[in-house]
Amino acid sequence: MNIKILVLIAVILILILNYKKILSYIEYIKEQRVIEFKKRTNLNLDELYRLSAPPALFLFGLEKRLFPKPVLYFDANNLYSITLNLPVVQHPLSSITEVQRTAVMINEKRVWKIFVKDNDKQRVYKFRTYRNLNLFLEKVKENPNAIVDDRYILGIFE
């Protein structure tokens, strides 16, 4: 038998025999991530929905430090903008004036804009979509003054 096949079989066998340890380690990592997030932002990660997609890696992770972009989360009442080493910015969902789809796509993910009225100023957040976009659009649609890009909701052009 080929040595590569024997090594592959040995690795698979080791993984199968240690799958409980591997799963418990993954759970431990998730718990540590939640604890670290709570320490850093004073928010409970389990109660939030992530809105923006993770950044694409191109400089071995250095782009997070060189070009920090906000990560957007939301819950039933608020939109949270979390940027590395900056305080958490919280906006009520009722302060969102518009959610607009752009023509830009990055890694097959659509870029969207959120316009937020913050103390008589207009703030704009651009983000790549993540899996919770439909839920977010439904929450924003509950505000009768908010404008949501209807082309996405109707399924046209997507």
Q: Exposed/middle/buried for 59, CB within 10 Å: 0-12, 13-18, 19+?
A: exposed
Tell me, yes or no, whether 74 and 126 share the same domain.
Answer: yes
Q: What is the CATH number of the domain that holds 111?
A: 2.30.29.30
Tell me, yes or no, whether 98 and 141 share the same domain.
Answer: yes
Tell me, yes or no, whether 94 and 136 share the same domain.
Answer: yes
In this structure, are strands 71-74 and 78-82 parallel, antiparallel, or unpaired? antiparallel
What percent of the chain stands above pLDDT 90? Answer: 44
137-157 confidence digits (pLDDT tens): 999 999 888 888 866 555 555
Tell me, yes or no, whether 143 and 97 share the same domain.
Answer: yes
Tell me, yes or no, whether 134 and 61 share the same domain.
Answer: yes
pTM of the model: 0.77
Tell me, yes or no, whether 58 and 106 share the same domain.
Answer: yes
Tell me, yes or no, whether 34 and 112 share the same domain.
Answer: no
Look at residue 87 and tell me whether its pLDDT is greater than 70: yes
13-28 confidence digits (pLDDT tens): 999 999 999 999 999 9
Tell me, yes or no, whether 88 and 133 share the same domain.
Answer: yes
Query: What domain range includes position 34?
Result: 3-41
Domain count, the chain: 2
Could you give the angle at the alpha carbon of 106 between the alpha carbons of 101 and 111, nearest 5°? 20
Tell me, yes or no, whether 34 and 55 share the same domain.
Answer: no
Q: Is 81 helix (H, G, I), strand (E, B) or coil?
A: strand
Tell me, yes or no, whether 21 and 88 share the same domain.
Answer: no
Give the per-residue pLDDT at 104: 87
Tell me, yes or no, whether 37 and 63 share the same domain.
Answer: no
Tell me, yes or no, whether 76 and 32 share the same domain.
Answer: no
pLDDT mean over 43-50:
88
To the nearest whole number, what is the mean pLDDT of the chain? 86
